[in-house]
Amino acid sequence: MDENALHQWLIDCFGPIQGEMAFNQINSLPDAIKDQLMNQDPAKLPKPSEVQALMQAFTAGGLNTPGDMQQTVENGPINVKLAKSLALQKANGEGSLASVNATDGQAARRAMSEASLWLDTACEMDPAGGEPDVLTRAGWVEGTIDAWAKFAAPVAESMNDALASVISERLGDSFNGEIAGMFAGPVPIPVPEGMKNPAQLMKLLGNTSFAMQLGHAAGDLSHEVRGSFDQGIALLANPAGGLIVQNVEEYAKSLDLPADEVMSFLALQEMAHARLFASVPWLMPRFEALIGKYARGVDIDLDAMEEQLREATSMDPEAISGAVNLTKVGIADTPEQREAKASLETLLALVEGWVDCVVWRAGMAHIPHIEQLREMLRRERAVGGPAERTFESLIGLELRPKRMREAAALWERIGAEEGAEARDAKWSHPDLLPQLPSDAPAVAAGDGSTDASQTTGQSGTLGTGATGDDGADSFASGDTSAIDWDAELTKLLDETPGDATGADGNTDAGGETGNGDDQDGGQDSDKNTPTD
C-alpha cells in the first residue's frame, strides 16, 4: 500500500482535518512500525463506514481520553456502555423499525391481554404486576443488556486476569516491561502513565474486546428473539415481559401461518413465563446463582491464550479477540461446571415444561394451529436457538432445556391427578419441585437435603433436590429414592416386570407406561428429527 492510498483512506474515515492529522502522526512513527503499516493489503482495511461506526461506539462507550481508559478498567471487567452502543447499532441496522406503529402495537397488546385471560383458566398463578411492553429491537437491547453483562461478568473477569498474568509472567520481556502507546488500526492512541504497564493495558484490551463480543451478540440476538423470556429466564426489568413486534410478524411470515395465531401463541408463552417468575420469588435468584457458579468455574488455558496473543497482528481489541474467546482458550467441563450445568438443565426443563403445559391448556380452544406451533417451538429449543448460542459464546454454557418434553408430560400428569392448584403449588418451595424421571442419578433443582420420605408423591415422581447452601450445588448423587425397587427386583429374578415397565421396555420412575413422544427425550415417534 503506498502513502497516497493510506492518506486517502484516513481522510475517508476521519474527514479532511482529522485524517490529515492521523497521516502526520503515522509519518512520525518509528520506521519499523511505519513499514509494518504500509505493508498491509489495502483490500483488508476496514471500510471507512465501518471505522466511523466503531469510533462512534467507542465514543459512546466512554473511551474518549486516556483518563477514560483508566476509569474503564477500574469500573469492572466489561465496558457495558461500549457493549450497549455496539448492540444498538446492530439492533437499529438496516431493516429495523425505529418504533412500533399504532396498529401493530394495538394488536400485540390485545394478544397479551387475551393471553392473560386465557391463562386464568389454565393455572392458579396471578398475572405479573404492570403492563407488558411492546418493544422494538433497540428497546429489547436497552432493557436486557445489563442482565447479559451481569451473567458474563465472572467470565470476563477471569479472562482479564488471565490476560494480565500471561503478559506479566510470560510475555513481559517482549514489551521491555512498558508500552508507550497502543494502536487501534493505524491511528496511534496515547496511553496514560498508569496504563503503560503491559498487564494493565491487557486488562483494558480484554475489557474492550469482551464488551465488543457482548455488543455484537446482543445486537444479533435482537433480530431473532420474539419475547423477553425467549431465553427461559427473566432478563427484562419489567416483570410483565413484552413482545418484540417486528420479530413476531417476521416469524409468522416464515411459518406461513396466520399472524394473529402466531401472535396469540407467543403472547401466551410470554405471559405464562411472566406469571411463573413473578409468583416464584426464589426462581430467578436460583438461575443467577447457578449461572454465576458455572461462570466462576471457568478455567483458562494460559498456554492457549499465550498462543493466541502471539498470533495477534497488532495490539487492539479486534486482534486479541481470539485470546478472550472461550471456545479457543477455555477449559470446559470442570467438576464445578458439570454440577451447575446439570442443575441448570433440570431447572430450565421444569420451567419450560410447565409453560408448555399451561400454554397448551390455555390456548387449545382458541388457536387452531397450536399443535404445530408447540412442536415448532420445542424443536427450536432442542437444536439450540439464539439464546443458547449467545450464552455459549459469552460464558461457554450450552443452555438448553434438553428434557422439556419429559417435564411437560410430568406437569400434565400432576395436573390430571392432583389438579391445577396442587400442580402450581409445587413451585412454592424448591424442595417441592417434581423430579424428572431418568436412568441416571437424579439431579433436582431444589436446595435442601434429600429426604427419602418426600420423594414419592401422588404422581409417583415427586422428589426434593440436593442443592448446597449457596443455592447452586444440586447433584443428588447417590439418591436411590426414585428407583422402583419392585421392578428392579423382578428384573433381577428374571421375571416379567409388571406395570412398572413402559411400552418401550424401559422402567419409568413413576411406574407409568412410557410414551414414545414425551418420555424418550430423543427422536420423535413419527419423524427422524432430533428433539429435546
Burial 234-262 (b: 16+ CB within 10 A, else e): bbbebbbbbbbbbbbbebbeeeebebebb
Q: Which three cell numbers stand for residue 440?
A: 441416571
Q: Which three cell numbers stand for residue 467?
A: 442443592
Question: Contact, 316 vs 183, CB < 8 A?
Answer: yes
CA–CA distances in Å: residue 18 to residues 8, 188, 454: 12, 13, 72
| Per-residue model confidence as pLDDT tens for the chain (532 residues) | 677 887 888 888 777 887 788 778 777 767 766 676 677 676 767 677 766 665 665 666 555 555 666 666 667 788 888 889 889 989 998 899 999 999 999 999 999 999 999 999 999 999 999 999 999 999 999 999 999 888 888 888 877 777 777 766 654 444 444 444 333 333 344 444 444 455 666 677 777 778 888 888 889 889 989 999 988 899 999 999 999 999 999 999 998 889 999 999 999 999 999 999 999 999 999 999 998 888 877 777 777 777 776 666 555 556 556 656 666 666 667 788 888 888 988 999 999 999 999 999 999 999 999 999 999 988 887 776 665 676 676 777 766 677 888 999 999 999 999 999 999 999 999 999 999 886 344 344 444 333 333 333 333 333 333 333 333 333 333 333 344 434 543 444 444 434 433 333 343 433 333 333 443 334 343 444 444 4
Ordered DSSP codes for 393-422: HHHS-----TTHHHHHHHHHHHHHHH-HHH
The number of C-alpha atoms within 13 Å of 314 and in the hemisphere containing its C-beta is 16
Q: Rounded distance, CA 335 to CA 477, Å?
A: 13
- Of 138, 133, 100, give the one whose Cα is nearest residue 222: 138
| Residue 507 dihedral angles phi and psi, to the nearest 5° | -75, 125
Question: Contact, 370 vs 360, CB < 8 A?
Answer: yes
Q: Taking the chain, what is the end-to-end CA distance rounded to the nearest angstrom?
A: 53
CB atoms within 10 A of CB 175: 17
CA–CA distances in Å: residue 9 to residues 15, 45, 52, 186, 420: 10, 9, 12, 11, 67
Predicted TM-score (pTM) of this structure = 0.68
